[in-house]
Structure 1
C-alpha cells in the first residue's frame, strides 16, 4: 500500500533509515563557502583607509554631493548657495535657453533615443550635422561622435594600433588614454609630463622597434592647467614617422582667441595633427566624445571600432544640445574672452596671496598645490563650510606631494567673486597649517581600526 506521495510504508521506512544513518553535518557540508567580495583588494583597502582618515579628521565626504539645479558660477547644495568651482561648464552654455530649446526640438522630432547602434538603424540627420560642424573646427575631412568621452579614447586607441606598434603618452594622461593603450596590446611607453626633449630622446631609442608609433597628449591638462608645445610635438612626430593624437577634452572653448583649442592657441594648422579627440560634456554641454581626422580613418572607425559599432548612437537631444553650443561658441567669442580674463584674474589673485598654482597657464583650470592630502582635504572641508565648493585631489589620484585643490573657472564668474574666494582660500590654508595634524597619532588610530 502507498501513501499520497507514491511511497509504500516499507519504502518510506527505508528512506528514513538511510537519512538517519548519514554522518552528522553531511547536509551542512553542502552549503557553499561565502564568496569573496568582488573588486581589487588593494583598491578596497585604499578606499577604506581614506574613509577612516576622513572620520578621524572629522572631514565630511566631499564627493557625490547633489546639486539642486544648474551648476554655474554658483550652485545650490542642500538648500545653500555656494561659489562653485567644480564644473566644466566653461562657457556657461549648459542651461542656456537656446541650447535647452534645441534639445527639446530634437526630442519632438527624434525622441529621446535612437534605440540602436548607428551602423544598424540608429543613424539620424542630427548626428551628421554635429559631426560636420566639429570636423570644420579642425579643418578635418570628417568626424565621428560616440556616447562616452572615456570610451572614445579606449575604443579608438585600442583599435588604431596593435601588438606590433608603439604608444607613447604623457605621464599625466587621462585614464582613458592609458586604458586605450593597454587595450591595444601595443608596447606602452610613458614620457615625463610635457618633457618633449625626453620624448624625442626616447623615440630615437625605441622607434625602430615598432611598425607604427602613436604619440598621445592632451591639449589642456585637467590636473595642472598647463599645455604642451604643439608645434614642437608636430615636428618630433614627423621626424620620427609617428602619428600624433591630441585629446581636446579641456581645450575646446578654452584655448585660443575664439576657443577653437590648442591649434588656435599655438597658431598651427590643425591638419598637421593626425587624430583629434574631444568631448561633448564640457564646453558643448552634452555628453559623449568625438574623433576628427582624415575621411579614411573615420570610415574605418565607424565600420569597425567596437565602442561605436556595438554601442547605441548618441541620443538626439544630446547631439542637438552640443551642436547648438558649438554654434554659440563660434558666434560669441566674447564668452571665451571673459573665461580667459576670469581665469587670469583668479590665477593672479592666488599668486598674490603667495599660493602655489603649479604650472597652470590660467585658462579655466587653476590648481592650488598643498603638498599634502590631509591639508587638501581639510581645506576643502573648511571652504565648503565657508560657502566655497571646490574638490580636493589627493593620493592616490596624484602623488602625495602633488595633492591640491582644483578650481574650474567659467565665463560666469566675476572679478569680485574670484578675488573674494582667493582671499578665503589663502586664509583657510594658513589656518590649516597653523593647526597641524599629529600624523603619528593619526597613523596609530588608523592602524587600530
Structure 2
C-alpha cells in the first residue's frame, strides 16, 4: 500500500472506490421488495441503530478512505511501560513527544513511593463521595498545597480535569448569564457552557479587543458574566494577556477564570503558572482551574480560589458532590510531585531550555510553529489532515512518536503535529525529530490531498 494518492486521477479513483465500498450491501442480501409493514419495522429499527447515526457514517468514510489510500490510523496505538520521554509502541522503543510529563516526574521515586504508601494506608479507593464517607486527610493536604501554589485561600480537587470544567461552569452559570471565551478554548469549557445554558460568545484567538467588545455589547443584558481563557493554550502553546483581562473583568463586573492545565509546572520561575510568568497578582483571578495529569504526574483536576468559592463548590458542584472521592494514591502522588518541583528547580529550567531550543530549531529549518512561545506545547503546522497523518506515520517509522491533530480538532488548514516538550528530552531527541520533519514534509507535500473530494467539497 502507498502512503497517499499521487495524482488527481488516483484521488478520484479513491473516492469512487470508498463510496462504492460503503454502498455495498451485505453478502447474500435479499433484493425482493419489502411490504409496507416491513419497511416501517426496518425504519423503526434504524432509529435505534448506532451504525446509522451521521457521525458513525463519517467515521466509516474516513476509515475506508484512509485504508484505501494507505494512511495508517495513528490513534489508539498500544503503548507499554510508563509515559516518559521514550515509550514502547506496539513493542518498539521510540522517542516520545506525545505524553505531557512536562517535568519528568512520572516514575520519580518520591512520587511513586507516596502513591504506594497511600495505597498501603487507605487502599485503592475511598469508597464514597467525599460529602459522605470519602473525605481523607490526603485530599486536604493536596488542596492546601494547590492553594499555596496558586497564592489563593483554598482549593478543591476533582477526579477528572475535563469534569472539573464541565461541572464548575455548568453549576456556576445559568440561562441568564454570559460566558465569553477564546475560540480555541478547551472542549471541557464548551461542554460546561452547554450544560449551563448561558449565552456563549466566542472571540477570535488572543483578541482582547474582541472580548472587550463582547462584554460592552452584551454584559448589561445578563445577570452574571464569566471570562474564560487558558494559561497556556493546549493546541498552540501561546499565552493570553492576563493583566488586560483583569482590567476587563473589573470594568465589566465579570468573573475571570483561567484554565492552567498546561501552564502549572511550566510557566513562571517556580512553576506557579501564568500569574507568576506575567507578574499578575493571583488574587485578581476569581477561578483558577488546573489538572494533576500534566506536570504533576497524576490524574484529576482542581479549582483554586477564595474560601467562599471552594465552600460553594463543595456543596453544590455536581461533579464533586455526586462523584466518588479521588483515589488516595492519586492525591498523594500529586502532592509529592509539587514537593519535588520545589526541591528540584532544574527541571523547570531544563524544560524552558528544551522548549526554546525546539522552537528555534524548527524555525531554522523553515518549519511553522504557529504562535508557540516555546514552553511545553509546540505545534508543527502541516496544513491538511492527510499530510499530518502521513507525517506522523513516517516519523514513527523513524523512531519518533508524535500524534497529529486534525480536522475537526483544528481547522483543516491548521492541521498539525503537536509536540509535548519535557525536561527529559535531550538535544539529540530534538534535533533528530526536526531533521526528520525537514526531510519528510517536503516530499509529503508533493502529493495532492484528496480529503476535500472525499468530503464532497
Settle same-fold status: TM greater than 0.5.
yes
Select the residue among 401, 409, 415 that pairs with 2:413: 401
Select the residue among 326, 329, 333 that pairs with 2:338: 326
Match of 1:151 in 2: 163
Structure 1: tracts of 5 or more residues without a match: 1-24
Provide the C-alpha distance between the structure 1 equivalents of 2:184 and 2:306, rounded to a whole number of angstroms.
Answer: 27
Provide the C-alpha distance between the structure 2 equivalents of 1:140 and 1:437, rounded to a whole number of angstroms.
Answer: 53
Provide the C-alpha distance between the structure 2 equivalents of 1:56 and 1:232, rounded to a whole number of angstroms.
Answer: 50
1:117-138 Cα shifts (integer Å, max 9, x gaps): 0001000000000000000111
Match of 2:190 in 1: 178
Change (3 A) 1:414 1:28: closer
Match of 1:114 in 2: 126
Structure 2: tracts of 5 or more residues without a match: 1-34
Provide the C-alpha distance between the structure 2 equivalents of 1:375 and 1:56, rounded to a whole number of angstroms.
Answer: 15
Matched residue of 1:167: which SS?
Answer: strand
TM-score, normalised by the number of residues in structure 2:
0.88
Match of 1:427 in 2: 439
Match of 2:95 in 1: 83
Select the residue among 416, 423, 448 that pairs with 1:437: 448
Q: How many residues align?
A: 419
Match of 2:18 in 1: none
Q: Give how far 1:31 is off.
A: 8.4
Select the residue among 348, 352, 357 that pairs with 1:340: 352
Provide the C-alpha distance between the structure 1 equivalents of 2:189 and 2:146, rounded to a whole number of angstroms.
Answer: 21
Select the residue among 201, 206, 224 that pairs with 1:212: 224
TM-score, normalised by the number of residues in structure 1:
0.90
Match of 2:322 in 1: 310
Provide the C-alpha distance between the structure 1 equivalents of 2:277 and 2:198, rounded to a whole number of angstroms.
Answer: 31
- Aligned: 1:92 with 2:104: yes
8 Å CA contact 2:180–2:214 kept in 1: the answer is no
Structure with the greater alpha carbon radius of gyration:
1
Q: Give how far 1:443 is off.
A: 3.6
- Aligned: 1:128 with 2:143: no
Provide the C-alpha distance between the structure 1 equivalents of 2:331 and 2:369, rounded to a whole number of angstroms.
Answer: 36
Provide the C-alpha distance between the structure 2 equivalents of 1:417 and 1:126, rounded to a whole number of angstroms.
Answer: 37
Provide the C-alpha distance between the structure 2 equivalents of 1:202 and 1:242, rounded to a whole number of angstroms.
Answer: 12
Match of 2:309 in 1: 297
Q: Give how far 1:53 is off.
A: 2.3
- Aligned: 1:223 with 2:261: no
Match of 1:51 in 2: 63
Please give the residue correspondences for 1:52-67 in structure 2 after superposition, counting only pairs within 5 Å: 52-67=64-79
1:194-236 Cα shifts (integer Å, max 9, x gaps): 1001111121111111111000111011100111011111111
Match of 2:274 in 1: 262
Q: Give how far 1:439 is off.
A: 2.8
Match of 1:15 in 2: none
- Aligned: 1:199 with 2:211: yes
* Alignment RMSD: 2.0
Provide the C-alpha distance between the structure 2 equivalents of 1:381 and 1:422, rounded to a whole number of angstroms.
Answer: 15
Q: Give how far 1:56 is off.
A: 2.3
